[in-house]
C-alpha cells in the first residue's frame, strides 16, 4: 500500500518554502526553506535553493514511508504577484528526480475578489 502526503510549495520572488503534511493536512512531517540551504540571502528564491530544499523534504518523506504526493503550489497572491516564483518549477522537478511520485499538481494562490485596494504607483523624478 502506498502512503500519500501533501507537499505545499510556497514560491515568492525572495524565498521558497516547502512543507510536507499527512493527507489530512493537519500534521506537519517535514518543512524546509531557502534560508536553511543557502548562505546568501539574495539566493533564497533561486531555483538551486528550491532544488536543495525539495531534496531534503523528499528524503524525509522516504524516511516516513511516503512515496506518493499531492503538490499544492502557491505564489504570493492577494494584491501581490499571482504567479509563483522561479523556485516552484525547480522544486517539482527535483521531487520527481528523488523518486517521489506526484499524483496531482494544483495552484492554490489566493486571488482577491475585489478585496483590498492596490498600492499607489510610485512616480520617479524626471530631470
pLDDT level of residue 116 (50, 70, 90 thresholds)? confident
User: Mean pLDDT, to the nearest integer, of 104-123?
Assistant: 90
Q: Tell me the percentage of the chain whose pLDDT exceeds 90.
A: 82
Q: How many degrees, rounded to 5, is the angle at CA 20 between CA 45 and CA 72? A: 70
This prediction has a pTM of 0.90
How many residues are listed for the chain in this entry? 127
Cβ atoms of residues 34 and 53 within 8 Å? yes
> What does the pLDDT look like over 43-92, one tens digit per residue?
999 999 999 999 999 999 999 999 999 999 999 999 899 999 999 999 99
Sheet holding 66-74, edge to edge: 28-33, 16-22, 3-11, 66-74, 101-107
* Domains contained in the chain, CATH given: 3-107 (3.30.420.80)
Amino acid at each position: 500500500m502506498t502512503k500519500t502526503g501533501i507537499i505545499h510549495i510556497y514560491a515568492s520572488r525572495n524565498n521558497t518554502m516547502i512543507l510536507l503534511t499527512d493527507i489530512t493536512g493537519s500534521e506537519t512531517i517535514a518543512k524546509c526553506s531557502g534560508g536553511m540551504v543557502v548562505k546568501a540571502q539574495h539566493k533564497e528564491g533561486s531555483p538551486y535553493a528550491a532544488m536543495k530544499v525539495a531534496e531534503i523534504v523528499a528524503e524525509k518523506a522516504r524516511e516516513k514511508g511516503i512515496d506518493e504526493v499531492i503538490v499544492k503550489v502557491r505564489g504570493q497572491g492577494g494584491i501581490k504577484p499571482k504567479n509563483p516564483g522561479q523556485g516552484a518549477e525547480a522544486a517539482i522537478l527535483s521531487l520527481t528526480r528523488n523518486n517521489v511520485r506526484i499524483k496531482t499538481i494544483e495552484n492554490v494562490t489566493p486571488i482577491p475578489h475585489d478585496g483590498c485596494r492596490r498600492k499607489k504607483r510610485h512616480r520617479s523624478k524626471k530631470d
